[in-house]
A = this chain, B = another copy of it.
Amino acid sequence: MRMPATPNHLDQTLLALADPTRRAILQRLSAGEVRVTELAQPFAMSLNAVSKHIRVLERAHLVHRRREGREHLLSFTPKPMDDVARWMDAQRANWSARLQALDDLLQEEDRVLASAPPPKKGRTR
């Protein structure tokens, strides 16, 4: 499927989060601003690779870049994760609503059975 012409925010956020390197970067940034080179240092990959990861995070608005001379200072921007949280909450609300409905149904069934006159030779179950 050619990804929809307009990949929405959830797509980009979730895609950005679906990589351990990028999650590590966010973790690091949640402790405060870091320069690109400093950020890349602990990773077992080229600076360029990290630079690309950063761009993905920026595209998802999870990271903000502040230029100061030749240094680029990166910081974490949590807002997009709220959208993810909201989607997941809605999803799980649906799910539990359905389970609750099922449960209610079963209880109603039991109630009806219990109030039925007991047959001579036992229940039909």
Q: Which of A63-71, A84-92, A106-114 is found at the contact surface with chain B?
A: A84-92
**B88 near A84 (CB under 8 angstroms)?**
yes
Contact partners of A88 in chain B: CB under 8 A = 81, 84-85
Chain A at the B interface: mostly helix, strand, loop or mixed?
A: helix
**A31 near B98 (CB under 8 angstroms)?**
yes
Given contacts A1-B21, A18-B11, contact A92 B98 (CB under 8 A): no
CB closest residue in chain B, given A76: B95
Q: Which of A46-100 contact B (CB under 8 A)?
A: 49, 76, 78, 81, 84-85, 87-88, 91-92, 94-95, 98
Decide yes or no whether A116 CB sits under 8 A from chain B. Answer: no
Total interface residues on A, CB under 8 Å, equals 32
The interface of chain A, by Cβ under 8 A from chain B, is: 1, 4, 8, 10-11, 14-15, 17-21, 23, 26-27, 30-32, 45, 49, 76, 78, 81, 84-85, 87-88, 91-92, 94-95, 98
List, sorted by A's number, 19 A–B pairs whose CB atoms are closer than 8 Å: A1-B45, A1-B49, A14-B17, A14-B18, A15-B15, A15-B18, A18-B18, A26-B91, A27-B94, A30-B91, A30-B94, A30-B98, A31-B94, A78-B91, A81-B88, A84-B84, A84-B88, A85-B85, A85-B88
